[in-house]
Amino acid sequence: MYGWEMLSFNIHDGFLEAIVRGNRSGLLTASDYNNLCQCENLDDVKMHLTATEYGPYLQNEPSPLHTTTIVEKCTLKLVDEYKHMLCQATEPLSTFLQYITYGHMIDNVVLIVTGTLHERDVNELLEKCHPLGMFDSIASLAVAQNMRELYRLVLVDTPLAPYFSECITSEDLDDMNIEIMRNTLYKAYLEDFYKFCQKLGGATAEIMCDLLSFEADRRAVNITINSIGTELTRDDRRRLYSNFGLLYPYGHEELAVCEDVDQVRGAMEKYPPYQSIFAKISYGESQMLDKAFYEEEVRRLCLSFEQQFHYAVFFAYIRLREQEIRNLMWISECVAQNQKNRVHDSVVFMF
Amino acid sequence: MSSDSSWASALVRISPYTFSAIGIAVSIGVSVLGAAWGIFITGSSLIGAAIKAPRITSKNLISVIFCEAVAIYGVIVAIILQTKLESVPSALMYDAESLRAGYAIFASGLIVGFANLACGVCVGIIGSSCALSDAQNSSLFVKILVIEIFGSALGLFGVIVGIIMSAQASWPKA
């Protein structure tokens, strides 16, 4: 019941909520980002990061440093914190924390399948996988030839099994099918997560459903923009949109028939939250749309910390860390390639 | 005693000592429930937050102390109430005066118990938020402490009214 969770939340989850809020205070602030943006080379970046909470992870790295090493070590910190929380969590928080990683699992599956299609080595691909989304039999994904085999050999034992019912076909895997498979899986995962959060009820349901609706809508816009000009039919496109969110169902009808970015803008401007996003970018431009969406997402995630006694803080913390790692990757790349004037194109400040 | 309704006569035939005993039990039992509830709510957040910010532990024990005070109110009132119990001769057991004394002690116990329950839970939830905010920004502690002080006044109101109620619990003399 909404409002009464404060009486019983702390019995099982009070300790972990306090831990995740302590971790949140370790996120990099605007002054940290300013220091990082003024670095001359990657060793400077490493020196600044050693002074933050990333210190123990980066201080033993030998120079010369690569951007991939920085990103890998920072991701390792996130994984350590996640595992620390997961091993202390009880139901239903432990299920909730596991749900957060299924998105990465889907990305890893698609990465390995695509890489195998292009004849890459399995071990090389395994190193590129996101550590939060690893599962035991992931290496045997390289053996599968079509989706039915993929499911039967590997995925039936993973938590992703229920999401496959919509996309089992016997067609061979190629680039287009793999993208459709990724989006179908992600759609099923988001809907499942949404139902789970609604079942939890209370403040968790309210905040998580808002965050997930935004995610669903953002994916709908990205699918639309990425499929303009490809051979994806309108019906296929509509099948990839989720069954919840602000845009469901009328916005999806309009998005399904859009043929260019300005039509997408026209469809989205009817919804006040998205109108403010689209107002930030001028006509005909779609590169800044990603950054505008990220900024809105970060704003909503930071707002979820304003309320106590719910699970959305865990989701928000992991997402904010991932955004921070994206920021660090962008800054490191700009510094390494000597293009510091482009740093602010893609860095989203949190606080 | 009117015999219009058999339910009415059932109520007034319950011994006033029963009501008094239940009142005393509620006074301490439910107060301790409220205090314990508040302490676990505050304590779990305090321990978790103190991992990243160890400086908050000593100051935030005040929240736990406020919750504990609620239990002490319950004990004090229970002790006061049990001193009000006196024997009456069995002829006067169901006299109006005895019933009045019994009901007064019962009500006093209920008042104190439930006021302390609400107060303990209130202070506990505020204490939890206080610990988490203090860990992020230490200037917030004193301001949230003011809210806690207002919250702990609720228990005090209950104790005052309870003691006034029980003060006029006078059993009839032979």
Banded pLDDT at A285 (limits 50, 70, 90): low
Residue range B45-58: average pLDDT? 94
Which of B102, B101, B105 shows the shortest CA–CA distance to B80? B105
pLDDT of residue A280: 79
pLDDT reading at A287 higher than 60? yes
B 61-120 residues inside an 8 A Cβ radius of A: none
Structure tokens at A224: 């639309």
B133 touches chain A (CB under 8 A): no
Q: Which residue of A has its CA nearest to B133?
A: A21
A18 touches chain B (CB under 8 A): yes
Put simply, the answer to whether A22 touches B53 (Cβ < 8 Å) is: yes
B132 chain-A contacts, CB cut-off 8 A: 17-18, 21, 308
Q: For chain A, how far is it from start to end, CA to CA, in angstroms?
A: 32
Least confident of A257-261, B136-140, B142-146: A257-261
Per-residue pLDDT of A142-159, as tens digits, reads 777 777 777 788 888 888
Per-residue pLDDT of A49-70, as tens digits, reads 988 888 888 888 887 788 888 8
pLDDT reading at B1 higher than 70? no
* CA dist list (Å): A56 to A47, A51, A52, A131: 12, 9, 9, 19
pLDDT, greater one: A344 or A195: A195
Per-residue pLDDT of B89-104, as tens digits, reads 989 888 899 999 999 9
pLDDT reading at A109 higher than 90? no
pLDDT, greater one: B38 or A346: B38
A3 chain-B contacts, CB cut-off 8 A: none
Banded pLDDT at A248 (limits 50, 70, 90): confident
pLDDT reading at A283 higher than 80? no
Cross-chain CB nearest to B135 (options A10, A11, A22) = A22
Mean pLDDT of chain B: 92
Per-residue pLDDT of A322-332, as tens digits, reads 999 999 999 99
Banded pLDDT at A286 (limits 50, 70, 90): low
Those residues with Cβ within 8 angstroms of residue A84's Cβ, 6 or more apart along the chain or in another chain = A19
Mean pLDDT of chain A: 87
pLDDT reading at A344 higher than 90? no
A25 touches chain B (CB under 8 A): yes
Percent of chain A scored above 70 by pLDDT? 96
Those residues with Cβ within 8 angstroms of residue A141's Cβ, 6 or more apart along the chain or in another chain = A109, A112, A113, A116, A150, A154
Contacts 24+ apart (CB under 8 A), B142-151: B145/B62, B148/B62, B148/B63, B148/B66, B148/B123, B149/B66, B151/B66, B151/B119, B151/B122, B151/B123, B151/B126
pLDDT reading at A14 higher than 70? yes
pLDDT reading at A339 higher than 70? yes
Instruction: State the smallest CA–CA distance between residue A17 and chain B in angstroms.
Output: 7
pLDDT of residue A23: 94
A90 chain-B contacts, CB cut-off 8 A: none
Banded pLDDT at B135 (limits 50, 70, 90): very high
A23 chain-B contacts, CB cut-off 8 A: 52
Instruction: State the smallest CA–CA distance between residue A14 and chain B in angstroms.
Output: 5
pLDDT reading at B86 higher than 60? yes
Per-residue pLDDT of A66-86, as tens digits, reads 888 889 999 999 999 999 999
A19 touches chain B (CB under 8 A): yes
Banded pLDDT at B145 (limits 50, 70, 90): very high
Structure tokens at A191: 């809907």
pLDDT reading at B143 higher than 70? yes
Put simply, the answer to whether A25 touches B135 (Cβ < 8 Å) is: yes
Measured CA angle at A207 (ends A202, A208), to 5 deg: 100
DSSP output for B86-130:
----GGGTTSHHHHHHHHHHHHHHHHHHHHHHHHHHHHHHHHHHH
Rounded to whole angstroms, the Cα distance separating A187 from A185 reads 5
Q: Residues A305, A316: contact at Cβ < 8 Å?
A: yes
DSSP output for A171-234:
SBP-HHHHHHHHHHHHHHHHHHHHHHHHHH-HHHHHHHHHHHHHHHHHHHHHHHHHHTTSS--H
Banded pLDDT at A229 (limits 50, 70, 90): confident
A84 chain-B contacts, CB cut-off 8 A: none
ipTM greater than cut 0.90 = no
A308 chain-B contacts, CB cut-off 8 A: 128-129, 132
Banded pLDDT at A139 (limits 50, 70, 90): confident
Put simply, the answer to whether B135 touches A308 (Cβ < 8 Å) is: no
